Amino acid sequence: MKSSEIFNPTLREVPSEAEIVSHQLLLRAGFIRKNSGGVYSYLPLAFRVLKKIMNIVREEMDRAGGQEVLMPIIQPAELWQESGRWEVYGDEMFRLKDRHKRSFALGPTHEEIITTLVKQDVHSYRDLPLLLYQIQNKYRDEIRPRFGLMRGREFIMKDLYSFDIDEDGLDLSYKKMYEAYSRIFERMNLKYRVVEADSGAIGGNESHEFMVMASSGEAEIVYCDKCHYAANVEKAQCPAPEPDGAKRAEARPLEKIHTPGVRTVEDVMHSLAVPAESIVKTLIYWADGEYVGAVIRGDRELNEVKLKNLLGCNELLIADENQVSQVLGVSVGSLGPVGAEFKVYADQEIELMDNFICGANEDGYHLMNVNLGRDFVPETIADLRNAIKGDPCPVCSAELDTTRGIEVGHIFKLGTKYSEAMKATFLDKNGQERPFIMGCYGIGISRTMAAAVEQNHDENGIIWPLPIAPYQLIIVPINTKKTEQMDLAWSIYEQLSGQGLEVIIDDRDERAGVKFKDADLTGIPLRITIGPKALQENKVEVKKRWENETVLIAVEDIVEEINSILSQY
């Protein structure tokens, strides 16, 4: 392909809304353009990358026994009512009506559709296991579509659903997917990690996320180098702290102190000259129609996923200052668990704190020498905080470390949540009716493209991993007016394309510097430069995008040299 003919409109200035590097670079290099918030067109270069990712995914899904289907994007409300999820997702679902005023959704995911399909046409254990997948656009009306392809409202997903006779069958399907996913990210040359994850509202009991490592990643991961435990921080358990052997301090009399203007943990620390570890903070949430309070140590972060799972609620929203003062008659800075009008859920660390400080549920006052049990009894004591670096590993007790990643794959054991709700059953060996045992497995195809950029770039642009690069190689003749340069460029082009390599030839009448800049921005992994000096010695220059050095290669050896590099990456 000639550079002059590729439709990759580059930008000098990136729109300021592009907050992360993948969004900036994909826009600048002419890979994507925005149509509306969170909705993008994929230009030729991007579509080539997407097709490469899809091909790898297809090959591995097929290898694992998956069969590809294509299901409707338009989904009738009735199916979502059957599963009980029509009301659950609220405004996140794109909803529409047909001319008969019947309600539909633009598919955010396909559990309901696939369960119906299988229910209608699969009736016997002999037809199981069954693994069906598709690669398709999905629609979710995110409150704040952000980060370009990372959190779009329309995005491309591969979703596979497994149907098994029993739990053992599900375990096997799940294992196959786990392995297939590992191969997929391996084959794309991405640095990734598999972590334990929360299965959230989707139901079911086991779940792993595949994370592409990147410092900009939204997901915080805790991991243990000693035993290989790794989990999303949302999921990572904090083992109950051991009373450290030191004698517990004697409970001192409760004391109410006047603390005008003292609102935050920091304020308390400064005004009373105490460490955060001796303070307890209270957070008020609106949980399915009720205000609840969560209490944790002053220096800790509350884990909303853990709280949500503990409460078993659908909706969990932090209450804002106005709600708190209106409903509880006290400002957020003075909240506390003693004499509270709301149910109190305490993190397990609170149990080990003696004589701590917290709000008095009265504006401008705090309590000192508070003790759990004597002064208040929580509804429940549970693990409610985020794990942090240095915490003991829940498996082997070594020190945990933290890092960041981008969730590109997620696999779930669903069990019978959908098959029971939708009465999807088969007859087992004994002629008994049983619900299908299901799993679901997703890969964000468009997000993977963005994650690859997030992980592989430098100050000059993208550095595509070879297996998913839009083209593998670009040939840059320094001066397109010199026939000997152009002749050689085309000769190398023909030889390499003839082998099936995807090659660009930069035939534009531009300065060499401009061509190099564009090649770097676009991220083409290999570059062959044909310039007058080297050519005198019958040589050309080879540069790997991910290294700084260039090497001179004799013209007659160039094809072999390129093949040798390609076989290594």
The binding site for ligand 9G3 (CB under 6 A) comprises 89, 92-93, 108-109, 140, 159, 202, 410, 440-442
Nearer to ligand 9G3, 109 or 278 (CB): 109
- The beta strand positions in 43-129, using DSSP E, are 67-68, 74-76, 95-97, 103-106
Nearer to ligand 9G3, 92 or 167 (CB): 92
User: Considering only CA atoms, which of 255, 259, 253, 252 is closest in space to residue 362?
Assistant: 259
CA–CA separation, 292 and 311 (whole Å):
10
User: Considering only CA atoms, which of 330, 379, 328 is closest in space to residue 350?
Assistant: 379
How large is the angle between the packed helices 483-498 and 558-568, nearest 10 degrees? Answer: 50
Nearer to ligand 9G3, 113 or 558 (CB): 113
Nearer to ligand 9G3, 410 or 515 (CB): 410
CB of 108 to ligand 9G3, least distance (A): 4
Q: Does a cis peptide bond (omega within 30 degrees of 0) precede residue 337?
A: no
CB of 295 to ligand 9G3, least distance (A): 30
Residue nearest to ligand 9G3 (CB): 442
Nearer to ligand 9G3, 300 or 410 (CB): 410
Nearer to ligand 9G3, 29 or 440 (CB): 440
CB of 118 to ligand 9G3, least distance (A): 14
H/E stretch holding 282: strand 280-287
H/E stretch holding 168: helix 167-187
Nearer to ligand 9G3, 78 or 92 (CB): 92
CA–CA separation, 473 and 466 (whole Å):
9
CB of 435 to ligand 9G3, least distance (A): 18
Q: Tell me the C-alpha to C-alpha distance, in Å, between residue 236 and each of 244, 392, 395, 466.
A: 22, 11, 11, 34
CB of 516 to ligand 9G3, least distance (A): 41
Quick one: how far is CA 563 from the chain centroid? 35
CB of 105 to ligand 9G3, least distance (A): 7
SS3 184: helix
CA–CA separation, 406 and 140 (whole Å):
18
User: Considering only CA atoms, which of 450, 517, 525 is closest in space to residue 12?
Assistant: 517
CB of 365 to ligand 9G3, least distance (A): 43
Nearer to ligand 9G3, 94 or 546 (CB): 94
CB of 92 to ligand 9G3, least distance (A): 4
Nearer to ligand 9G3, 84 or 498 (CB): 84
Say if CB 44 and CB 167 are below 8 A apart.
no
CB of 166 to ligand 9G3, least distance (A): 21
Which three-class secondary structure string do you get for 481-515? Answer: CCHHHHHHHHHHHHHHHHCCCCEEECCCCCCHHHH
CA–CA separation, 565 and 108 (whole Å):
42
Partners of 85 in the β-ladder: none
Which three-class secondary structure string do you get for 439-452? Answer: EEEEEEHHHHHHHH
CB of 410 to ligand 9G3, least distance (A): 5
Nearer to ligand 9G3, 109 or 386 (CB): 109
Nearer to ligand 9G3, 336 or 442 (CB): 442
CA–CA separation, 189 and 212 (whole Å):
10
Q: What is the largest CA-CA distance in the chain?
A: 94
How many Cβ atoms from other residues are within 10 Å of residue 256's Cβ?
12
Nearer to ligand 9G3, 350 or 450 (CB): 450
CB of 231 to ligand 9G3, least distance (A): 18
H/E stretch holding 418: helix 417-421
CA–CA separation, 552 and 495 (whole Å):
19
How many Cβ atoms from other residues are within 10 Å of residue 365's Cβ?
17
Nearer to ligand 9G3, 89 or 178 (CB): 89
CB of 78 to ligand 9G3, least distance (A): 15
CB of 93 to ligand 9G3, least distance (A): 4
Task: Give residue 484's identity as a one-letter amino acid code.
Answer: E
CB of 160 to ligand 9G3, least distance (A): 7
Percent helix / strand / coil, the chain, rounded to 5: 30, 30, 40
CA–CA separation, 159 and 109 (whole Å):
8
Nearer to ligand 9G3, 73 or 327 (CB): 73
Half-sphere exposure of 141 (CA within 13 A, CB side): 10
